[in-house]
Structure 1
Amino acid sequence: MKMTFRWYGNGNDSVSLEQIKQIPGVEGIVWALHNEPVGNIWPMEKILEIQKDASKYNLNIDVVESVNVHEDIKLGLPTRDLYIENYKKTIENLGKVGVKVICYNFMPIFDWTRTDLYKKLDDGSTALFYEKSKVEFEGVNPLVLIKEISEGSKGYTMPGWEPEKFERLEKLFLAYKNINEEKLWENLKYFLEQIIPVAELNGIKMAIHPDDPPWSIFGLPRIITCGENLERLLNLVDSKSNGITLCSGSLGSNPKNNIPDIIRRYNERIPFAHIRNIKIYENGDFIETSHRSCDGSLDITEIVKAFNERNYEGYIRPDHGRHIWNEKCRPGYGLYDRALGIMYILGIWDILEKNKY
Structure 2
Amino acid sequence: MRMTFRWFGEGNDPIPLSHIKQIPGTEGIVWALHHIPAGEEWPLDRIMEVKQQIEAAGFHNEVVESVNVHEDIKLGLPSRDHYIENYKKTIISLASAGVKVICYNFMPVFDWLRTNLFAELEDGSTAMYFEKAKVSSLTPHELVAHFQSNTSFQLPGWEPERLAQLSATLKAYEAVDEEQLWSNLQYFLEQIIPVAAEHGIRMAIHPDDPPYPLFGLPRIINNQASLRRLVKLVDHPANGITLCSGSLGARPDNDIVAMIHEFADRIPFAHIRNVRLEENGDFIETSHRTEDGTVNIAAIVKAYYDVGFTGYARPDHGRHIWDEQCRPGYGLYDRGLGIMHLWGLWDAYRYAEQSKFS
Q: TM-score, normalised by structure 2?
A: 0.98
Instruction: Provide the C-alpha distance between the structure 2 equivalents of 1:315 and 1:153, rounded to a whole number of angstroms.
Output: 29
Aligned to 2:48: 48
Question: Which residue identity does 2:261 align to in structure 1?
Answer: R
1:213-232 to structure 2, matched below 5 A, reads 213-232=210-229
Instruction: Provide the C-alpha distance between the structure 2 equivalents of 1:202 and 1:142, rounded to a whole number of angstroms.
Output: 39
Instruction: Provide the C-alpha distance between the structure 1 equivalents of 2:119 and 2:159, rounded to a whole number of angstroms.
Output: 23
1:7-46 to structure 2, matched below 5 A, reads 7-46=7-46
1:31-110 to structure 2, matched below 5 A, reads 31-110=31-110
Aligned to 1:141: 139
Q: Measure how far apart 1:166 and its partner are.
A: 1.7
Q: Measure how far apart 1:136 and its partner are.
A: 2.6
Deviations 1:28-52 (A, max 9, x none): 0000000011111000111011111
1:75-224 to structure 2, matched below 5 A, reads 75-137=75-137, 140-154=138-152, 156-224=153-221
Task: Point out 4+ residue stretches in structure 1 off by more than 6 angstroms.
Answer: none
Q: Measure how far apart 1:148 and its partner are.
A: 1.1
Question: Which residue identity does 1:314 align to in structure 2?
Answer: G
Size of the alignment, in residue pairs?
A: 354
Aligned to 1:331: 328
Q: Measure how far apart 1:103 and its partner are.
A: 0.1
Q: TM-score, normalised by structure 1?
A: 0.98
2:8 aligns to what SS in structure 1?
Answer: coil
Unaligned runs of 5+ in 1: none
2:313 aligns to what SS in structure 1?
Answer: strand
Instruction: Provide the C-alpha distance between the structure 2 equivalents of 1:3 and 1:66, rounded to a whole number of angstroms.
Output: 18
1:355 aligns to what SS in structure 2?
Answer: helix
Instruction: Provide the C-alpha distance between the structure 1 equivalents of 2:300 and 2:136, rounded to a whole number of angstroms.
Output: 29
Deviations 1:93-116 (A, max 9, x none): 000011000000000011110000
Deviations 1:115-168 (A, max 9, x none): 00000111000000000001134xx311011111012122x1111111011211
Instruction: Provide the C-alpha distance between the structure 1 equivalents of 2:196 and 2:320, rounded to a whole number of angstroms.
Output: 36
Instruction: Provide the C-alpha distance between the structure 2 equivalents of 1:201 and 1:15, rounded to a whole number of angstroms.
Output: 35
Unaligned runs of 5+ in 2: none
Question: Which residue identity does 1:75 align to in structure 2?
Answer: L
2:103 aligns to what SS in structure 1?
Answer: strand
Deviations 1:238-272 (A, max 9, x none): 00000000000000100100111100110110000
Q: Measure how far apart 1:15 and its partner are.
A: 0.9
Question: Which residue identity does 1:16 align to in structure 2?
Answer: P
Deviations 1:286-319 (A, max 9, x none): 0000000000001100000000001100000000
Instruction: Provide the C-alpha distance between the structure 1 equivalents of 2:92 and 2:21, rounded to a whole number of angstroms.
Output: 28
- Percent identity, aligned pairs only, is 59
1:194 aligns to what SS in structure 2?
Answer: helix
Aligned to 1:257: 254
2:243 aligns to what SS in structure 1?
Answer: strand
Instruction: Provide the C-alpha distance between the structure 2 equivalents of 1:105 and 1:20, rounded to a whole number of angstroms.
Output: 26
Of the candidates 327, 348, 355, which is equivalent to residue 351 of structure 1? 348
Instruction: Provide the C-alpha distance between the structure 2 equivalents of 1:164 and 1:147, rounded to a whole number of angstroms.
Output: 14
Instruction: Provide the C-alpha distance between the structure 2 equivalents of 1:251 and 1:128, rounded to a whole number of angstroms.
Output: 16
1:158 aligns to what SS in structure 2?
Answer: coil
